[in-house]
Amino acid sequence: MKRCFSILFLSACLVFGIAACGNAGSAASGTSGTSGTSVSQGSVDTSSDDTKTTGDSEEHKEGDKVLVVYFSATGTTRDVAEKIASITNGDLYEIKPAVEYTADDLNWHDSASRSTKEQNDKSFRPEIGSDPVSLDGYGTVYIGYPIWWGEEPRIMDTFVESYNFDGITMIPFCTSASSGVGRSDRNLADNAGSGNWLDGQRFAGGASEADISSWIGGIQ
């Protein structure tokens, strides 16, 4: 029985390792992000007890526009995000890390790699490099990410903690080698502290437009 479990675990690791490292980008070198948030542009609500980006008004107007926000280290989540945007006629916003993740950074076999260290520290907040987005007019935000160590990458927490999602339906989606959504959707909702968060949906890499469409059609 123990041997059986070991074989299963090793097989899962092999599949997961290939998926994780198969097409990792390798732009900037560097091993760790810096903490902080990126709300230097857009309107920042300083009247409340925090400094969350709210767009052009303090409260969101009822909006029917759709925004698809995503972080993708190796392109899998981007593919799903683009399909969601195409199906919903939504806008796309990419969360780009201020310091891009290299293949070494993403090496989950290495306990000293940047991603492993970040995932081991729930309070770590990698800095976002992309310009902030105004949420005005958006009634629905799909928010996508890869599963890292069973959870959302910490940069997703940087994002949700930087914005005020009042009046917006938040729909998490993720991609992974094999893990489910786990508690990532709840983590994001808890850390955001605003917005109407629905349950998350996990997709495998290369999910078809038909599958994604069918999921979207079933949301209400």
Interface residues toward ligand FMN, by CB under 6 A: 16, 19-20, 72-78, 106, 108, 115, 146-150, 175-179, 205
Strand partners, 141: 67, 170
Which segments within the chain are labelled E, that is strand? 65-70, 91-94, 138-146, 169-175, 196-197, 201-203
Nearest residue to 84 via CA among 4, 3, 187, 201: 201
Q: Between the CA of residue 102 and those of 14, 27, 111, 118, what are the distances in Å?
A: 20, 6, 15, 14
Note the Cα 197 to chain centre separation in Å. 14
CA dist 163 and 22 (Å) reads 33
Output the smallest distance, CB 117 to ligand FMN, in A.
Answer: 10
Output the smallest distance, CB 179 to ligand FMN, in A.
Answer: 3
Complex with ligand FMN: residue 22 or 193, whichever CB lies closer: 22
Output the smallest distance, CB 65 to ligand FMN, in A.
Answer: 24
Burial classification of residue 47, based on how many CB atoms lie within 10 Å of its CB (0-12 exposed, 13-18 middle, 19 or more buried): exposed
Complex with ligand FMN: residue 167 or 205, whichever CB lies closer: 205
Complex with ligand FMN: residue 19 or 168, whichever CB lies closer: 19
Output the smallest distance, CB 107 to ligand FMN, in A.
Answer: 7
Complex with ligand FMN: residue 106 or 170, whichever CB lies closer: 106
CA dist 192 and 188 (Å) reads 6
Q: Between the CA of residue 145 and those of 32, 42, 55, 91, 204, what are the distances in Å?
A: 19, 23, 23, 16, 12
Complex with ligand FMN: residue 53 or 176, whichever CB lies closer: 176
Strand partners, 91: 67
Output the smallest distance, CB 215 to ligand FMN, in A.
Answer: 16
Output the smallest distance, CB 28 to ligand FMN, in A.
Answer: 16
Complex with ligand FMN: residue 60 or 114, whichever CB lies closer: 114
Output the smallest distance, CB 115 to ligand FMN, in A.
Answer: 4
Complex with ligand FMN: residue 16 or 124, whichever CB lies closer: 16
